């Protein structure tokens, strides 16, 4: 695959401030603003042609590292350092390699250096994920192909080098079998501070004409799929789920949902007690029957050391925050977990290789029911959202959590040239608001046609972005 080898010559870190239109509470944090990081990478192919690629993700506090002694600013700085450390490993040496070759060469040493600097595995993975996606974007532009076509032909050169349990599995044939779909179902997040009914609407809520309450969102977007956050306070959760059920049970055509445990239970027995309590509530009958997945119910300190037992037999449970390394899903499967989340912020290769594991395990055990789910970490409209959706769509996720459409402010404050270009090229995915670029959700679906057609989510010129935001660091 020497014709697809290249050097990594420079990495630019940029940021833009993001202010949310509504507060989003997940776990222990209520998020109202955060920086969005952009990483631009320049590669040079063997014919001495240079190509730029870009990736983006929100610097979300209190998810990658939930240590209570750290402030949001501390969390932001951790993620910035992870990108900088990764950049130094990719640029160092100027050696020719495939996209995956660069990743596999950097992964171990990057995690080791991050550990020396007391950066947890999820934080370390964030830096790798950003660089890898920007490199793949540059490659798609260099090759003139879409992300789906690049993966189908295995142009990145993906092997089992970082997932040895897949040794002997036919990765090229598996990758060639992946096909993107034209639409995805939006799974709407109901955050812990979200207003359920109109009478609970905050007086100081946004005056932008967009829906605020759960009922308004259901009516405006035709939603039929939901992600419900749990706080760990059983009485409060039962009360809140009952109010949510009062809205969802009114939906014509039914609904399904997932529960996000947010690591709020110390043991499987603790979650089992909550679940039995919920199922015993008459008003939660339809809702509990509609639950398809339970996401990371057990705190990460215990999740990969305690078997799920009966909980895992009764409910399809997955890891999310515990997915801090390429071996995590393999370890979780042995404990009774059947799934793992796909998030671009954890790594494109991790999602692809975990999807290969799902294919392998389900072939070996047709009743295993192993799966990947597509989850959001407040990805904003534009590069972050498009690359995340393209990845989730290709690995076969039919529904995807999206919360940016309700919390994010639709690229408000971004250059008008960028917003106009996104609306022009991706008019099937976005619609224009009052200085906004909002997701176009119709009958609970979003279109993936334009973002699947070329490049890694888009073929828009990077000049629209590189001069627009503040440069944090430049490695070359």
pLDDT tens digits for 373-397?
A: 999 988 999 999 999 999 999 999 9
Q: Which of 110, 132, 107, 155 is nearest to 43 (CA)?
A: 132
Could you tell me the CA-to-CA distances from 412 to 12, 19, 202, 372, 438 in Å, in that order? 23, 8, 22, 32, 10
* Amino acid 461: pLDDT: 87
Give me the sign of the Cα torsion angle 405, 416, 37, 465: positive
Tell me whether strands 225-229 and 437-439 are parallel, antiparallel or unpaired.
unpaired
As beta bridge partners, residue 228 has 190, 259
What distance in Å separates the CA atoms of residue 288 and residue 164, rounded to the nearest whole number? 38
Mean pLDDT (the chain, rounded): 93
List the structure tokens of 423: 């609306």
Quickly count helices (H) and strands (E) in the chain: 18, 15
Could you tell me the CA-to-CA distances from 6 to 45, 47, 107, 150, 444 in Å, in that order? 4, 9, 18, 16, 41
| % residues pLDDT > 70 (the chain) | 97
Q: Give domain limits for the chain.
A: 2-144+469-475, 177-460
DSSP 303: H
* Amino acid 1: pLDDT: 43
* Amino acid 197: pLDDT: 87
What distance in Å separates the CA atoms of residue 120 and residue 114, rounded to the nearest whole number? 7
What distance in Å separates the CA atoms of residue 206 and residue 297, rounded to the nearest whole number? 32
Residue 22's H or E segment, with its range, is: strand 6-26
CATH class of 177-460: alpha beta
The pLDDT of residue 215 is above 50: yes
pTM of the predicted protein model = 0.96
What distance in Å separates the CA atoms of residue 150 and residue 1, rounded to the nearest whole number? 13
Q: What band does 203 get if pLDDT is binned at 50, 70 and 90? A: low
Strand residues in 343-389 grouped as ranges (E): 371-374
Q: What band does 201 get if pLDDT is binned at 50, 70 and 90? A: low
Q: What number is the average pLDDT over the span 153-179?
A: 96
| % residues pLDDT > 90 (the chain) | 83
Q: Which of 346, 299, 294 is nearest to 325 (CA)?
A: 346
What distance in Å separates the CA atoms of residue 449 and residue 289, rounded to the nearest whole number? 33
Could you tell me the CA-to-CA distances from 181 to 223, 315, 364, 396 in Å, in that order? 19, 27, 26, 8
Instruction: Name the residue with tokens 């609407």.
Output: 201
Residue 151's H or E segment, with its range, is: helix 147-152
Instruction: Name the residue with tokens 């240590």.
Output: 67
Determine the topology of domain 2-144+469-475 in CATH: Enolase-like; domain 1 (3.30.390)
Q: Is 321 helix (H, G, I), strand (E, B) or coil?
A: coil
Give me the sign of the Cα torsion angle 169, 397, 270, 327: positive
Cβ atoms of 54 and 134 within 8 Å: the answer is yes
pLDDT digits (tens, 9 = 90+) for 52-71: 999 999 999 999 999 999 99
List the structure tokens of 135: 């490199």
The helix, strand and coil proportions of the chain, stated in percent and rounded to the nearest 5, come to: 40, 20, 35
Residue 310's H or E segment, with its range, is: helix 310-314
pLDDT digits (tens, 9 = 90+) for 65-107: 999 999 999 999 999 999 999 999 999 877 999 999 999 999 9
pLDDT digits (tens, 9 = 90+) for 221-251: 999 999 999 999 999 999 999 999 999 999 9
pLDDT digits (tens, 9 = 90+) for 10-60: 999 999 999 999 899 887 889 999 999 999 999 999 999 999 999 999 999
pLDDT digits (tens, 9 = 90+) for 282-326: 999 999 999 999 999 999 999 999 999 999 999 999 999 999 999
Q: What band does 272 get if pLDDT is binned at 50, 70 and 90? A: very high
Tell me whether strands 445-447 and 437-439 are parallel, antiparallel or unpaired.
unpaired
* Amino acid 202: pLDDT: 59
């Amino acid at each position: 695959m020497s014709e697809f080898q290249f050097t990594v010559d420079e990495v630019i870190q940029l940021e833009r401030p993001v202010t949310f239109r509504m507060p989003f509470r997940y776990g222990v944090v209520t998020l109202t603003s955060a920086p969005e990081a952009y990483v631009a990478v320049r590669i040079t192919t063997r014919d001495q042609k240079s190509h730029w690629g870009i990736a983006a993700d929100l610097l979300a506090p209190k998810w990658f590292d939930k240590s209570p002694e750290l402030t949001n600013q501390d969390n932001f700085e951790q993620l910035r350092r992870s990108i900088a450390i990764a950049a130094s490993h990719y640029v160092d040496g100027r050696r020719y390699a495939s996209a995956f070759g660069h990743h596999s060469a950097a992964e171990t040493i990057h995690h080791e250096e991050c550990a020396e600097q007391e950066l947890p595995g999820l934080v370390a993975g964030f830096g790798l994920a950003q660089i890898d996606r920007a490199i793949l974007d540059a490659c798609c532009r260099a090759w003139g192909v879409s992300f789906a076509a690049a993966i189908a032909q295995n142009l990145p050169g993906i092997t089992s080098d970082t997932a040895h349990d897949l040794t002997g599995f036919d990765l090229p044939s598996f990758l060639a079998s992946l096909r993107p779909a034209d639409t995805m179902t939006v799974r709407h997040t109901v955050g812990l501070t979200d207003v359920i009914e109109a009478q609970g609407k905050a007086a100081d809520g946004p005056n932008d004409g967009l829906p605020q309450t759960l009922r308004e969102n259901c009516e405006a977007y035709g939603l039929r799929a939901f992600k419900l956050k749990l706080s760990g306070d059983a009485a409060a959760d039962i009360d809140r789920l009952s109010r949510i059920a009062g809205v969802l049970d009114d939906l014509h055509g039914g609904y399904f949902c997932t529960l996000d445990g947010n690591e709020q239970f110390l043991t499987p027995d603790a979650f089992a007690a909550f679940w039995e309590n919920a199922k015993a509530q008459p008003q939660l009958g339809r809702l509990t029957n509609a639950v398809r997945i339970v996401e990371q119910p057990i705190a990460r300190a215990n999740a990969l050391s305690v078997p799920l037992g009966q909980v895992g037999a009764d409910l399809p449970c997955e890891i999310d925050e515990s997915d801090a390394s390429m071996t995590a899903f393999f370890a979780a499967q042995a404990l009774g977990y059947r799934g793992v989340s796909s998030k671009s912020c954890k790594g494109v290769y991790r999602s692809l290789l975990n999807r290969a594991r799902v294919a392998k395990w389900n072939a070996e055990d047709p009743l295993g029911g192993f799966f990947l789910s597509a989850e959001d970490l407040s990805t904003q409209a534009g590069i972050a959202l498009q690359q995340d959706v393209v990845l989730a769509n290709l690995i076969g996720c039919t529904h995807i959590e999206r919360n940016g459409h309700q919390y994010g402010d639709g690229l408000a404050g971004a250059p008008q040239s960028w917003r106009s270009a996104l609306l022009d090229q991706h008019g099937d995915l976005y619609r224009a608001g009052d200085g906004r670029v909002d997701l176009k959700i119709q009958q609970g679906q979003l279109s993936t046609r334009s973002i699947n057609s070329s490049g890694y989510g888009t073929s828009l010129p990077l000049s629209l972005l590189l001069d627009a935001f503040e440069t944090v660091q430049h490695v070359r």
